Amino acid sequence: MLCTDLKSFTGEIVCEPPNNHLNKFEGVLNWRDEKFALDNEKLLLRGCVLRNTGWCYGLVIFAGKDTKLMMNSGRTTFKRTHIDQLMNVLIVGVCRGSLVLQLAYIVALIEVIAFCLFVIKSYIKYVKDTRFSKF
């Protein structure tokens, strides 16, 4: 098959659906009424390099997120040191403590204002009562 014949390639590949099993691939290439088995021996995974070869023909079967390597690469976990975890706990504790102190300050301020209003109201009542009792 020459490079100019690649445009007229009419083969069909029947294979397993995309999965994350790196050591297993089963498929069949149907071309010109012949069947050619496809397995791991005839498969290059994403990122592989073919060396010591002048040329070769290749065909992409799965691309993007459907490649075996992408499906096999699970979620990455964010690794933190013990100091990072301790600092997070301390910062949350300081924020909570600050919030409690601010709420306590607001409650105390409201109590002081209420007490002052009570004293003023009592004084005004006392002044009114003493002013009219002399007459």
pLDDT in tens, 71-80: 666 667 778 8
Residue 72: the pLDDT is 67
Same domain for 88 and 115: yes
Same domain for 46 and 30: yes
Same domain for 37 and 22: yes
Same domain for 54 and 20: yes
- Dihedral, CA atoms, 8, 14, 16, 20, nearest 10 degrees? -10
Of the chain, the percentage scoring pLDDT greater than 70 comes to: 82
User: Domains in the chain: how many in total?
Assistant: 2
Mean pLDDT of the residues in the chain: 83
Of the chain, the percentage scoring pLDDT greater than 90 comes to: 29
Burial letters for 112-127: b for 16+ Cβ neighbours within 10 Å, e otherwise? eeeeeeeeeeeeeeee
Task: Report residue 68's pLDDT band, with 50, 70 and 90 as the boundaries.
Answer: low
The Cα-based distances of 17 to 20, 23, 58 in angstroms read: 10, 15, 19
Same domain for 48 and 22: yes
Same domain for 43 and 16: yes
The better pLDDT of the pair 125, 46 is held by 125
Same domain for 81 and 68: no
Same domain for 60 and 9: yes
Domain that holds residue 49: 3-72
Q: For 69-118, what is each residue's pLDDT tens digit?
A: 666 666 677 788 899 999 999 999 999 999 999 999 999 999 999 999 99
Same domain for 92 and 66: no
Residue 25: the pLDDT is 81
End position of a domain, from candidates 33, 55, 72:
72
Q: Which strand (E) or helix (H) includes residue 13? A: strand 12-15
Same domain for 66 and 7: yes
End position of a domain, from candidates 20, 55, 72:
72
